[in-house]
Amino acid sequence: MLAKLISFDTTSRNSNIPLIEFVESYLADLGVSSIRVDYESDHKTNLYATIGPDIDGGIVLSGHTDVVPVDGQAWSSDPFVMREHDGLLFGRGAADMKGFIAVALAMVPEFLAADLKLPIHFSFSCDEEVGCTGVRPLINHIKERLPLPRAVIVGEPSEMRVVNSHKGSCSFTTDVVGHEAHSSCTDLGVNAIMYASRVIGELQRIADELKERGDPSGKFTPPYTSLSICMIDGGTATNIIPRQCSFNWDTRVLPDVDRFEVPDRLDAFCDGLRAEMGQISDEASINTKCTNWVPGLQPQPGCPAETLALHCAAANGVETVAYGTEAGLFQEAGIPAIICGPGSIEQAHKPDEFVAASELESCETFMRRLCERCCEA
């Protein structure tokens, strides 16, 4: 099953529909119906399927079908042909996160043979790797039109450890508009790149302060809300004072930190720069907009998702991670969520990505215990 899933090049820029069609056909052959909730019509879609009674209180197994690009990476073999070596299964998405989806699908016959009192749902989404965007219409559809689940298990690679908290992610674009002039006439122009550099300098000062403030919980690595400048573009020629400069940046926000703090502080700082720029050109400006927000996962000790996952993983405690998932979006919609999946995040996005076969076996055991619990409910 994993080999088949890896064979679909579901890099986020591509359609995931061929993979979804395969899953639909596989489930239908076993008598399981499914629905699609489109993100981009005829190009990107999500799949939702239910095994067991059509009632509230089920358990969602959630995973994303898209993967990151392999462009420029030095793979030892075709990234879309699974390769096995010494108990390791190589291929793009093996860990992040087609391994979890493969185990869920392979377990369908066992789920069907069981006397489920509570349903087990599959939620397979698109465009997670570009900001958890694709799953949002699916979550809305579940909340508004379907029996409400009691818990979501997101199968991101956690080495089958139970994770109850992760940071949020907020992405921004800052556009600086100046005023063109000959580079010898600096008094007549507004240099967008130089003003952008001052904005970036302020972001660095804020980042240093957030680092110093730290993480009071002591659970995260790195132990603070972090900030990164990721892309920058501006200027046209060396003898023209640049009119335009834009840069993209993001924050990885601790779950209990106000996500508006950094952009609000930056905007207040930019007020002074705008006044300077306006003395030369009333067209000059600095504008920052949020391009995407993925909420963090807040700890909910004792919630149904955590209690169930700890039992199924035979674990005694929970952990935190720095990466983001759709778990925070499910939680924001009022459905408790937890992370537990096969593989290591250290393998994700790298060339020669792999998942250990032993991790998939542990995931199988987890799902058998989940099935038993859904029969006992």
pLDDT tens digits, 115-139: 999 999 999 999 999 999 999 999 9
Q: What are φ and ψ of residue 88, in 5° steps?
A: -110, 140
Domain ranges of the chain: 2-165+296-376, 168-293
What single string gives the DSSP state of each residue in 112-152? HHS--SS-EEEEEES--TTTS-THHHHHHHHHHHSPPPSEE
Percentage of the chain modeled with pLDDT above 90: 98
pLDDT on residue 306: 98
Catalytic residue among 9, 128, 352, 359: 128
pLDDT on residue 322: 86
Q: How confident is the model at residue 83 (pLDDT cuts 50, 70, 90)?
A: very high
The yes-or-no answer on residue 128 being catalytic is yes
pLDDT over 80 at 164, yes or no? yes
**Average pLDDT over every residue of 49-67:** 98
Tokens of 320: 């935190």
pLDDT over 80 at 377, yes or no? no
Between CA 254 and CA 250 the distance in angstroms is 13
**Average pLDDT over every residue of 225-231:** 96
Specify the CATH number for 168-293; select among 3.20.20.190, 3.40.50.720, 3.40.50.1000, 3.30.70.360. 3.30.70.360
Tokens of 77: 């073999």
pLDDT tens-digit readout, 6-40: 999 999 999 999 999 999 999 999 999 999 999 99
What single string gives the DSSP state of each residue in 249-284? EEEEE-TTS-TTHHHHHHHHHHHHHHHHHHTT-TT-
Q: What are φ and ψ of residue 60, in 5° steps?
A: -95, 130
Catalytic residue among 9, 24, 66, 96: 66
**Lowest-confidence region among 103-107, 214-218, 308-312:** 214-218
pLDDT over 80 at 80, yes or no? yes
CA 28 to chain centre: 29
Specify the CATH number for 2-165+296-376; select among 3.40.630.10, 3.10.20.70, 3.30.70.1140, 3.30.9.10. 3.40.630.10
The SS3 call for residue 314 is coil
Q: How confident is the model at residue 256 (pLDDT cuts 50, 70, 90)?
A: confident
Q: How confident is the model at residue 245 (pLDDT cuts 50, 70, 90)?
A: very high
The yes-or-no answer on residue 66 being catalytic is yes
Give me the half-sphere count of Cα atoms (radius 13 Å) on the Cβ side of residue 93. Answer: 31
Domains 2-165+296-376 and 168-293 share a fold: no
